[in-house]
C-alpha cells in the first residue's frame, strides 16, 4: 500500500556511467550502466560492498556529479545540477558549527532568499516535522547529541519541501536503538510528506524495514545485480522485521552481496534479524 507511481518525484536513471579522473590521467570507473526507475513517492534502498559507488550514484542523482554516459531524470527532465526539488542528507550531519541549530535548518531558505519572518514560520513547522525539541534550536551543533544533530540535518534537507530525499548512510553513526527509532521516524515522515526516498545503507535490516525495493549493487564499478521487492504492509513497525517475508528478503539480499567479489558488507545484527534467522 505504498504511494508509488503517483505524484511528483519520479527518478529515472538510464544507462548511467561515471568515472573519476585519476591523477595519472587514467580514469577510475565507478558506475557502469546503472538503470533504475523509482516511481514518485517510492522508497528505494541501495546496498552494496564498501566503496562500490553507492554515494557516487547518490551524488549523480543530486546533480553534484555529471554522469559520463547516460542520464538521470527527475519527473522526466534531465537533472543538470543541484535542484531545490532534491533534498540531501549526508552521512555526517554536516552542520555549520558557527550557526545555531535553527539557523542551520533555515540555511537553505536563507540562500534561496526567504525573508526572516517566513523563515521563522517555516522553522517551527520543520522542527515539528522532525520532532526536534524547540528548546534546543538556539544551541550550537557542538552542544547537541549526535542524534539531535542528524535531526537538524534532516530538517534542513526538508526545508525547501523537496520531492526527493536522498540519504547517504544517514544513521550509521548512531547506536543501534537510536538508529531503529530514526528509521521508524523516517517512515512516519514519509507517510505525511510522501517524498520519494533513496537511502544508501550498509544495514540489511534497515533496508528491509524502510524500503519498497532494495537494490543491490556490485563491487566497483557498480552495476545493479538485484532489485528485490519488499512485500511488507505499511505502515510498518519494528515487528515488520519478524515477518517471514522480511526474513526471506534479508536472506536474498545477503546472498547477492556475498556472491559478489567485493569486501563483505558489514551488517548489523538486531534482535529482530536474529529472530528471523532463527525462525528460518
Partner 1 sequence: MTRVAALSIVVAFAVFVLVWKAIVVVSGLPPFILPAPETVAIRFVGAWRDGTIEPHLATTLVEVGLGFAVGVALALIAGYGLARSVWVERLLSPYLVAAQAIPILALAPLLVWWFGNGLLSKVVIAALIVFFPVAVATMVGIRSVDARLLELGRSLRATRRQVLLTLEIPAALPNILGGMRVGVTLAVVGALVGEWAGANQGLGVLINLARGSLFDIPLMFATLVTIALVGIVLYLMVVILERRLVGNR
Q: Which residues bind partner 1 (CB under 8 A)?
A: 62-64, 81-82, 84, 88, 90, 92, 94, 96-98, 107-108, 110-112, 140, 142
Question: Would you say 167 or 240 has its CB closer to partner 1?
Answer: 167
Contact 45, 199 (CB under 8 A): yes
CB of 161 to partner 1, least distance (A): 14
**DSSP letter string, 42-55:** -EEEEE-STTSSHH
Beta strands in 101-195 (DSSP E): 164-168
Question: 280: which 3 cell numbers?
Answer: 528460518
Contacts of 36 (CB under 8 A, 6+ apart): 11, 12, 13, 44, 215, 224, 227
CB of 144 to partner 1, least distance (A): 14
CB of 10 to partner 1, least distance (A): 20
Question: Would you say 163 or 212 has its CB closer to partner 1?
Answer: 163
- Rounded Cα gap, residues 100 and 119, in angstroms: 14
CB of 176 to partner 1, least distance (A): 25
Question: 197: which 3 cell numbers?
Answer: 526516498
Question: Would you say 86 or 211 has its CB closer to partner 1?
Answer: 86
Question: Would you say 85 or 202 has its CB closer to partner 1?
Answer: 85
Question: Would you say 82 or 134 has its CB closer to partner 1?
Answer: 82
CB of 265 to partner 1, least distance (A): 24
Distances (CA, A) of 59 to 143, 158, 250, 256, 266: 29, 17, 26, 24, 22
Contact 25, 257 (CB under 8 A): no
CB of 54 to partner 1, least distance (A): 16
Question: Would you say 20 or 90 has its CB closer to partner 1?
Answer: 90
Length of the chain: 280
- Rounded Cα gap, residues 4 and 180, in angstroms: 24
Question: Would you say 111 or 124 has its CB closer to partner 1?
Answer: 111
3 state DSSP class of 199: strand
Question: Would you say 2 or 137 has its CB closer to partner 1?
Answer: 137
- Rounded Cα gap, residues 145 and 130, in angstroms: 15
Angle between helix 116-129 and 176-193 (nearest 10):
120
Distances (CA, A) of 154 to 91, 94, 108: 11, 11, 12
CB of 118 to partner 1, least distance (A): 17
CB of 153 to partner 1, least distance (A): 10
Amino acid at each position: 500500500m505504498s504511494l508509488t507511481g503517483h505524484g511528483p518525484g519520479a527518478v529515472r536513471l538510464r544507462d548511467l556511467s561515471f568515472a573519476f579522473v585519476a591523477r595519472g590521467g587514467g580514469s577510475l570507473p565507478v558506475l557502469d550502466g546503472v538503470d533504475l526507475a523509482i516511481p514518485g513517492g517510492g522508497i528505494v534502498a541501495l546496498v552494496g560492498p564498501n566503496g562500490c559507488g553507492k554515494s557516487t550514484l547518490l551524488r549523480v542523482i543530486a546533480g553534484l556529479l555529471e554522469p559520463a554516459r547516460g542520464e538521470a531524470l527527475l519527473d522526466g527532465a534531465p537533472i543538470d545540477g543541484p535542484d531545490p526539488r532534491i533534498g540531501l542528507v549526508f552521512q555526517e550531519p554536516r552542520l555549520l558549527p558557527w550557526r545555531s541549530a535553527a539557523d542551520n535548518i533555515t540555511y537553505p531558505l536563507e540562500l534561496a532568499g526567504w525573508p526572516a519572518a517566513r523563515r521563522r514560520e517555516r522553522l517551527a513547522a520543520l522542527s515539528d516535522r522532525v520532532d526536534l525539541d524547540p528548546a534546543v534550536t538556539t544551541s550550537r551543533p557542538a552542544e547537541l547529541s549526535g542524534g539531535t544533530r542528524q535531526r537538524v540535518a534532516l530538517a534542513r534537507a526538508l526545508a525547501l519541501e523537496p520531492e526527493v530525499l536522498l540519504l547517504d548512510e544517514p544513521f550509521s553513526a548512531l547506536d543501534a536503538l537510536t538508529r531503529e527509532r530514526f528509521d521508524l521516524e523516517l517512515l512516519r515522515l514519509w507517510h505525511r510528506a510522501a517524498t520519494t526516498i533513496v537511502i544508501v545503507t550498509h544495514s540489511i535490516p534497515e533496508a528491509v524495514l524502510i524500503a519498497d525495493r532494495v537494490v543491490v549493487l556490485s563491487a566497483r564499478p557498480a552495476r545493479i545485480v538485484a532489485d528485490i521487492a519488499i512485500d511488507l504492509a505499511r505502515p510498518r513497525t519494528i515487528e515488520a522485521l519478524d515477518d517471514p517475508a522480511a526474513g526471506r528478503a534479508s536472506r536474498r539480499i545477503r546472498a547477492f552481496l556475498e556472491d559478489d567479489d567485493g569486501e563483505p558488507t558489514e551488517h548489523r545484527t538486531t534482535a529482530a534479524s536474529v529472530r528471523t534467522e532463527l525462525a528460518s
